Structure 1
Amino acid sequence: MQETFTGTTVEEAVQNGLSSLNVSEQQVKIEVDDPGKKGLFGIGRRDAVVNLIIIDPELKRYTLTELKDNIQKNAGNEEEPAVVTDELVEEKVIEEPVQQAEERQKAKKDLSASADGTLQYLIQILKHMGIEATGVVATKSNEASINLDSVDAARIIGKRGHTLNALQTVAETHLQQTHKGYVTVMLDIENYREKRKGTLENLALNMAQKALTSQEPVQFEPMPNYERKIIHQVLMKMKNIETYSEGREPHRYLVIKSK
């Protein structure tokens, strides 16, 4: 019982599959067919592709089609939608989407302009550090991705990404102030974030084994929220391991222990 789903990221593809099948992550086996690619300004972008395989014994008795039919039957118990006149339909279908589209386009342009300003701000900071760099910006919804390029990439990254993380915090603060709204920033150079993700996933599994063997809590070094989230996501699939965070930012750290 296997079905394929896509998304802009692996996580989004998995969530699309879980929502479509109306199952939890513990009830399926996840196989990543293609991790996807962000591309540059949408050029060369490729969706992530995952396969979800039902592993729950109770769900194995049903085919994917039967599961979807059951979901649709349950959805059919909802209240009947209100009757809308032609006049109201015309107003909703024509006028509201046009207005919303214009507002979204304006917000996108404003965020893009603010993100470009933040990139220039970072370039000036790096110049004061004696580092020449350039970069490109991509925005989506309330997220901004800034990808730097420099011959001094190692200095920008710093030990275990500490310098890059600090610059990301500066960039996020600057962008939120200039854009006047909540925006998350992902700052990267030479695909460091993806490489770091693989390192953290391996670290999570090794530390989990250590916690199981010693039967004592194991503490990680302080790390940013999105890095702690990566470890949480890896270990949440292990029923005999629990994770929690302690401390205050920027010194908040993750602890894992056996149940």
Structure 2
Amino acid sequence: MSKIVATGKTVEDAVEQGLAQWGVSRDHVSVQILSQPSKGFLGLFGVKEAKVELTLLSSSAGGDELKRDFSSKKQAAPALELQETPAEPKKTAAVSSLSEDKTVYAEKHSGEDPYQEAISFLMETGKAMGLDITVDVEHGKEFSILHISGSGLGLMIGRRGQTLDALQYLANIVANRYSDNYVRIVLDAENFRERRKKTLEDLADRLAGRAVKTRKEIVLEPMPASERKVIHFRLQNHAQVKTFSKGEEPNRRIVITLKQQ
């Protein structure tokens, strides 16, 4: 029997690719699924296509002629098209298996939950970092929070939350690949966001006091927009100082200066 291996984004696409190369219809082949498609590492990289093996059936009507045509690199499709009534596809075990697999694949990949996709991304990332984590989702009106718990989370948080911010950025990309409407995700681990907010508020109070005492403006180190917002909000009603930002991302920073009397 003649065989051919074909690939595609889905099992069905792979089968169609193989049929197109031979120029035959589905009832002239049996199909063996060699591998299922996958999204790849972290849902973003190394996407794997489906792979199938098609075998030309010798028992099919005109099978010998089709194999000879294939060997001589001729197309048999025109001869098949002359039939007034196309042959009914045979319910072979291989075709039935393909049909069942297609149904399972469709059920698996239709209507994915963007939040669950983001959670899967984080779980895979944690595993790649050697961490055993769990992720719970808390839905809010403006955004949803993914709470990460487990041991060794300092590795996922990073210095001043830089790694956590990077993972949050990627989690939002993953989630929005599976959503028709824009979704916003905030990532948190070991209540880091609240602890960081308290640290920034204390810093704002301390530096505002220094600005008043020295009568000089205070320039902070570069911060992401979310952290600058905390300091601006903390000092917006301060009696003696005001804040503004200067510079370009990612080096944009806050300046604390005295209000004009």
Superposition TM-score, scaled by structure 2 size: 0.52
Where does the alignment leave 5 or more consecutive residues of structure 2 unmatched? Answer: 1-109
- Could you give the per-residue CA deviations for residues 80-125 of structure 1, whole angstroms, max 9, x where no partner exists? xxxxxxxxxxxxxxxxxxxxxxxxxxxxxx9992111111112212
TM superposition shift of 1:217: 2.3
Letter in 1 for 2:233: Q
**CA spacing shift, 1:239–1:143, aligned 2, 3 Å:** same
Larger Rg: 2
Specify whether residues 112 and 219 from structure 1 end up closer, same or farther in structure 2 by C-alpha distance, changes over 3 A only: farther
Partner residue of 1:119?
119
C-alpha distance in 2 between matches for 1:196 and 1:170? 21
Map of 2:190 onto structure 1: 190
Deviation at 1:146, TM superposition (A): 0.1
In 2, distance between residues paired with 1:192 and 1:157?
Answer: 8
Judged with a 3 Å threshold, the aligned counterparts in structure 2 of structure 1 residues 231 and 248 are, in CA distance, closer, same or farther, namely: same
Residue identity matched to 1:253: R
- The aligned counterpart of 1:211 is 211
SS of equivalent residue, structure 2 residue 244:
strand
1:201/1:142 CA distance change after superposition, 3 Å: closer
SS at 1:178 equivalent: coil
Structure 1: gaps (5+ residues): 1-109
Structure 2 Cα separation of the partners of residues 167 and 252 of structure 1:
21
Distance 2:144 2:187 in 1: 9
CA RMSD of aligned residues (A): 2.3
1:235 equivalenced with 2:235 (yes/no) = yes
Alignment of 1:1-259 (within 5 A): 113-259=113-259
> How far 1:178 moved relative to its partner?
2.8
Number of aligned residue pairs: 150
Shift of 1:244: 1.2
CA contact (8 A) 2:172 2:183 kept: yes
Structure holding more helix per residue: 1
Q: CA offset at residue 127 of structure 1?
A: 2.0
How far apart are the structure 1 equivalents of 2:125 and 2:232? 33
Offset, 1:190: 1.2
> Structure 2: how far apart are the matches of 1:111 and 1:215?
59
Assess, with a 3 A threshold, how the Cα gap between structure 1 residues 252 and 171 changes in structure 2: closer, same or farther: farther
Cα offset for 1:222? 2.3
TM-score normalized by structure 1?
0.53
Summarize the Cα distance change of 1:176–1:239 in structure 2 as closer, same or farther, 3 Å threshold: farther
Task: Tell me how far 1:253 sits from its aligned partner.
Answer: 2.1
Q: How far apart in 1 are the matches of 2:116 and 2:131? A: 19
Alignment-mate amino acid for residue 197 of structure 2 = K
How far 1:231 moved relative to its partner? 1.0
Shift of 1:215: 2.5
**Percent identity between the two aligned chains:** 35
Would you identify which runs of 4 or more consecutive aligned residues in structure 1 move more than 4 Å? none
193-202 vs 123-132, which moves further: 123-132
